[in-house]
Amino acid sequence: MNVRIATVSAVSAVLLATGATAAVAAPAPALTVKASAAHVRLGDVVTFTGRATGIKDGSKVTLQVKDGRKWLALPGTAKVKKGAYKLGEKFDDKGAQVVRAKDGRSVSEPVSVEVR
């Protein structure tokens, strides 16, 4: 009977320690991005907004556009403020523009904007 109690106590301690550690662990940095419009005319400004979870206020966020297999940085940057950012961009080329947000090692899922 003492072996059972010792085993249950040990397993309980491990579960408690693991749960307590997971509860206080910081969330992994994450970015989201949304475009103000899915379709725009050439030269129109598209506003990109997003949330920056686990990223310090004042950090810089840039937009990247997909060019073939590469991601190219667009010129504008925005600073994270209260866990969010906002930035405007004009596109010089017609067609589908696939864009993502980037801050250091964190990148968002891409969004697509059709430029006509």
pLDDT in tens, 1-59: 555 555 545 555 555 565 555 455 667 889 999 999 999 999 999 999 999 999 999 99
Tell me whether residue 64 is in a domain: yes
69 phi/psi in degrees, rounded to 5: -100, -5
> Total structural domains in the chain?
1
Domain containing residue 63 = 30-115
CA distances from 13 to 7, 22, 25 (A): 10, 14, 18
Tell me whether residue 7 is in a domain: no
Tell me whether residue 22 is in a domain: no
Tell me whether residue 13 is in a domain: no
Q: Report the range of poorest mean pLDDT among 27-31, 69-73, 86-90, 105-109.
A: 27-31
Closest to 113 in 3D by CA, of 99, 100, 103, 101? 99
Sign for the pseudo-dihedral over CA of 47, 50, 113, 100: positive
pTM of the model: 0.76
| Token representation of residue 4 | 């059972």
Q: Look at 7 and 63; give whichever has higher pLDDT.
A: 63
CATH code, domain carrying 105 = 2.60.40.1930
Helix ranges (DSSP H) in the chain: 2-24
Tell me whether residue 46 is in a domain: yes
When pLDDT is cut at 50, 70 and 90, the band that residue 105 belongs to is confident
- Amino acid in the structure at residue 40: V
pLDDT at residue 80 greater than cutoff 80: yes
Tell me whether residue 110 is in a domain: yes
| Token representation of residue 107 | 């990148």
Vertex 106 angle, CA 38 and 93, to 5°: 35
Q: Report the range of poorest mean pLDDT among 23-27, 40-44, 78-82, 107-111.
A: 23-27
